[in-house]
Structure 1
Amino acid sequence: MSTVYDALSQRKSHGESTVIRVIGWDIGGANVKAARLLFTGGRAESGAAIRRYFELWNNARDLRRLLQEIYSDLGRADAMVLTMTGELCDAFNDRAEGIAHIIDAARGAAQGIPLYVINLDGLLIRLDGGEVDLLTLAPTNWIAEALVLATRQPDCLLVDIGSTTTDLIPIVGRKIAARGKRDIERLVHGELIYTGVLRTPVTAITSRIPLRGTICPISAEHFAVSADVYVTLGRLQPEDYTCATPDGHEKTRQGALRRLARVVCEDSKHLTVGELHAMAAYIAERQIQQITEGMFQVLSRFENGHCLPVAPVGVGAFLGETCAKRLGLAICDPPVLTDSGSLSLSPCAAAATLLGEAISHP
């Protein structure tokens, strides 16, 4: 970290306040997120975040260009830190190739800026050209988030519901109490559920839907996704529908209704709005059951697991709150990470927080 520390020592020698600018990256298969934090005198004073929908599996070659654009929009940094979950998308032959590609793109986004990663043990590792075990560097976005939350909320269940997946991370005694690290381990232990509020196909949530007094099997086609469900129910607004639609058409409530009708092999002209709304409500209920089942599994490992409050975050935080209430669990507000209140908890903001604090207090 000599580059950053040298700059700081020069400022201190002139009696100036210590100012550090850090950027945290969270690069997934369908979204790229970044947060820039400004640390003054060792405290995160202010920050800004950017989220871009980006189909890594279709556009891996364009990742560097996108990161350069985001870096330009956020403003320069003294150091950057990387987390990722997109390393396993099918643009790559294996996980190691994906990790290497993402690291290379991040390096290219701002050449000459010190780049760090968070590994599976929660440690900050500087990528300085030395040998590193790539398979220890991903997936780590949930680790960054849980590490920061643990410093603010000593006992809780982190419920991060995103566009595609749900993370259930227990924190006990200010320590991460998760059993899994790699995704396959986290799936087995109920800490990773492949369901989210935007991109999840309806067919991954349920195979049947009550309709006109019957239980109607649904088509095994990619007709509608969870975003259509929550736009129909008014839990998400059309502008929240950041992923691609299955039919490539508008992200309005009318468009969502049309896509939902196709799930039961019908069109929206032959189903009433009330019927389509009821279908959406049932699908949402089944998704709640998927998530609460995972919560039951994770909490059952602890003597007083039923007493842990839930910290709901992510674009699907509203669903996390619903699940917590369904289980009778208290809800705690996720922490704000800057003095100005401009950034709340997210993996990219958490990663930036960890790096900024490490540099400020070596």
Structure 2
Amino acid sequence: MIPLAELLRPKNLDEVIGQQHLVGKKKPLRALLEVGKITSLILWGPPGCGKTTLARLIASYVDVEFIQFSAVTGGVAEIRLVIKKAKEDQTLFKKQTVLFVDEIHRFNKSQQDAFLPHVEDGSIILIGATTENPGFEVNAPLISRSQVYVLHALTDEEMREIVKRATEYYKGYTWDERALKHIIKSSNGDARTAINAIELASSFGRKITLKLAEEAIQRKAIYFHYDTISAFIKSMRGSNPDATVHYLSRMIKAGEDPVFIARRMVIFASEDIGNVQPTALVVATACMQAVHMIGMPESGLILAQTATYLATAKKSLSSSTAFWEAMKDIDEENLAP
């Protein structure tokens, strides 16, 4: 049985919801494809924002062989086989190959190096998808030979349109508006999560209530991404360690990415604490590195230790205020060289 997410996948650029800064009228990706050009790309964005969909659409707009490859399950040996076939297709049939590597950041530097000579000589057109900053996770030589496009998490309005398309697939079903709102909010801009939740909820019966939606999305309605991270930051800013741990726990329970939480604390340490207690940035950075190495559930302890440290630290906006004021002066004043 074909998954609903696959059935609903856009067949052309006009069907794409979101990422209009790339695929809208006269925007860079659309402009390239409309003239039949394609180059190696890195698509950087959060889960479920359309990276795989765009990669497939890009290949469909030009006459190329499309090969999808996962950095999670594949290795250098498989890459060599793909590249060998690509060279044969290019020689025998004058046909280029687009190699789509999902989660390219999962490859280490030496594995990524295996692509370089073949990207350079045109044997393959590489499209890499990553949820991590390619500046840190993808080889600099590979980035220099590719165009990096940033994709954004889908907005609630865009998610509503996707959910509408998904529910229209189920004729004769009734959907409680609260259930749909919960799926939209809990999906955090991830279209795949929302569509999968709709598909699962439909298997529970023909009348979908909030309770069934909660079971489908596997998290409670109180766990909303942006509201909770905002409350977490405000709790640290207000020097309230109890509230800080409460909101941290809500995020962890809801399945929030621990690295995302750690990054927010690194930013907070510099922006809200600064030089009044400079060790805060050291602690927060060490936290992010440890979380990246350790993983869940143990990373929860590291996050809690760091969050309470930052919440009880002295606060100062001096350095961040000075920086933004200087940037404002540069924008507004006619400064001499």
Q: Which range, TM-score by smaller chain?
A: under 0.3
Structure 1-normalised TM-score?
0.23
Greater per-residue strand proportion = 1
TM-score (norm 2): 0.25
